[in-house]
Structure 1
Amino acid sequence: MAHRDPAPRSDRRPTAASRPHLRLGGLLLGLLALGLVFALGGVLGTGTIRGWIDPLGVAAPIAYVVLAAVLGAALVPGAVLATVAGLLFGPVGGALLALASAVASAVLARGFSARVGGDALEDVSGERLRQLTAFARRNGLLAVIVQRLLPAIPDGPLSHAFGLARIRTRDLALGTAIAGGPRALSYALLGSSADDLTGRDAIAGVLLNVTTGIAGLTLAWWVLRRERRRATAAAFEGALPGDADPGPR
């Protein structure tokens, strides 16, 4: 009697990659752990990072950009990284290097989460989250600029969120370059004035940070108002008599 191969089973257990909830949950838990370690655990402070970069001499600027990009993607607070740049390279040089590392970090974080998360966010989203994601994609560059300007909202986690939402890399990089400059300069000014926080540079850094936050809140208000008008106009057009079903005559 000829041997017959068993019929292929259709009840194989799906891998983690095929389960959007597991894939997205694993990514979010990993990022949450990193955020707690660096933001609350005090594992990496300005002194530690400065001690790694300072002895490198002429290679220090490049080393800073590379290291800060990786650490920023790993959710080390951007304020810490920009302050180190100010301590090492002064207010102007520090701001330029902090901005370069912020752009690189945003692109790195976006690429990582987009690759690991895949379409998981789309698969598990409800209607409201889909609308929010669509809004972010529709206003990609503007959404990044607003987020970067808003006060007290860390860039690292949002860079990963932009990756999950599939915001274009170009919009993320350009938005970070446009809006990240004032914040980078403010923290670089504070870092360069660490020995005298009542000096002119330190006060300028605080004022610039406050002004940036106000600009972010104002721009966010304008964007939301414009979006509401767009939604209202779309709803009105959909409710026009000519678009409605005339019913039986």
Structure 2
Amino acid sequence: MKKWSGFILIAVIVAGLIILNQTVLDLSPERIRNWILSVGVLAPILYVVLYTFRPFILFPASVLSLAGGLAFGPLYGTLLTITGATAGAILAFMFAKKAGAKRVEEKLGQRGEKLQHQLEHNGFLIVLLLRLVPIFNFDLISYTAGASKVRLLPFALATVIGIAPGTFAYTFLGFSTGSNSAQTIILAVTIFAVILIIPLLFRKKIKSYLQGRAQEN
């Protein structure tokens, strides 16, 4: 029973946070934007700090990105969102590195060793592909990479490059919702659709590639 108590506790906490975010809080991008801008010149700092600690409360990154676009515009909003998202990913990575690395090595056995070897030698490419293509949850990638042997610098660089297109799409879309220009809205929706669809077209190929690399190593 003790063996499963930790997993049950984590599951309950995660489920509780998700329910809290989706029902009780029910924070819309507009509400978040208004609250962030209420602090004046400190708004950009507050936004980055919120995004940095977002992985620990499981708040939807998409909602926060839309709020960033509404608050700061497509370009400045993208820059701030990438900064906060990368900082949050690094924080989750380091947390998993300290808390879970040894446990992962002990429990995954030979198969886990092969995956860790792959990540250690191809960490940048693998993380980049996983950031570009929505195969796994954003935060799950950060925690898993931290619990493996991926090095911090390749992980951080791959995260910055990999999330840039999607981040711009979300922030521009958020910005357009507060615009009265039909052309801006159409352009934002088009860019969002293109950036969302293209990775999905290559999802199966990339997934097969990653599985093949894991078998080779």
2:142 counterpart of 1:159: yes
Match of residue 112 from structure 2: 129
Tell me the alpha carbon deviations over residues 10-61 of structure 1, each in whole angstroms, 9 at most, x when there is no partner: xxxxxxxxx9x67973785377346634665463442443233111222211
2:58 counterpart of 1:75: yes
Query: What is the CA-CA distance between 1:73 and the residue it aligns to?
Result: 4.2
Match of residue 171 from structure 2: 188
Match of residue 14 from structure 2: 32
Check whether the contact 1:106–1:172 (CA below 8 A) recurs between aligned residues.
Answer: no
Matched AA of 2:195:
L
Match of residue 186 from structure 2: 199
**Structure 1 pair 114/177, CA: closer, same or farther in 2 (3 Å)?**
same
2:75 counterpart of 1:85: no
Check whether the contact 2:177–2:185 (CA below 8 A) recurs between aligned residues.
Answer: no
Matched AA of 1:58:
V
Aligned partner (choices 70, 75, 79) of residue 96 of structure 1 = 79
Match of residue 5 from structure 1: none
**Structure 1 pair 180/40, CA: closer, same or farther in 2 (3 Å)?**
same
Match of residue 237 from structure 1: none
Q: What is the root-mean-square deviation in Å for CA atoms of aligned residues?
A: 3.0
Task: Return 5+ residue gaps in structure 1 as ranges.
Answer: 1-18, 232-249
Higher relative contact order (CA 8 A, sep 6+): 2
Normalised by the length of structure 2, the TM-score is: 0.80
Greater shift after overlay, 75-84 or 38-47? 38-47
Match of residue 97 from structure 2: 114
Structure showing greater Rg: 1
Bigger share in helix:
2
For 2:151 and 2:6, locate their aligned partners in 1 and report how far apart those are by CA, in whole Å.
20
Check whether the contact 1:149–1:215 (CA below 8 A) recurs between aligned residues.
Answer: no
**Structure 1 pair 168/146, CA: closer, same or farther in 2 (3 Å)?**
same
For 1:83 and 1:168, locate their aligned partners in 2 and report how far apart those are by CA, in whole Å.
30
How many residues of Structure 1 are paired with residues of Structure 2 in the alignment? 211
Check whether the contact 1:69–1:102 (CA below 8 A) recurs between aligned residues.
Answer: yes
For 1:61 and 1:158, locate their aligned partners in 2 and report how far apart those are by CA, in whole Å.
26
Task: Return 5+ residue gaps in structure 2 as ranges.
Answer: none
Tell me the alpha carbon deviations over residues 71-108 of structure 1, each in whole angstroms, 9 at most, x when there is no partner: 13432222122111111111111111111111101001
Normalised by the length of structure 1, the TM-score is: 0.71
% same residue? 28
**Structure 1 pair 112/181, CA: closer, same or farther in 2 (3 Å)?**
same
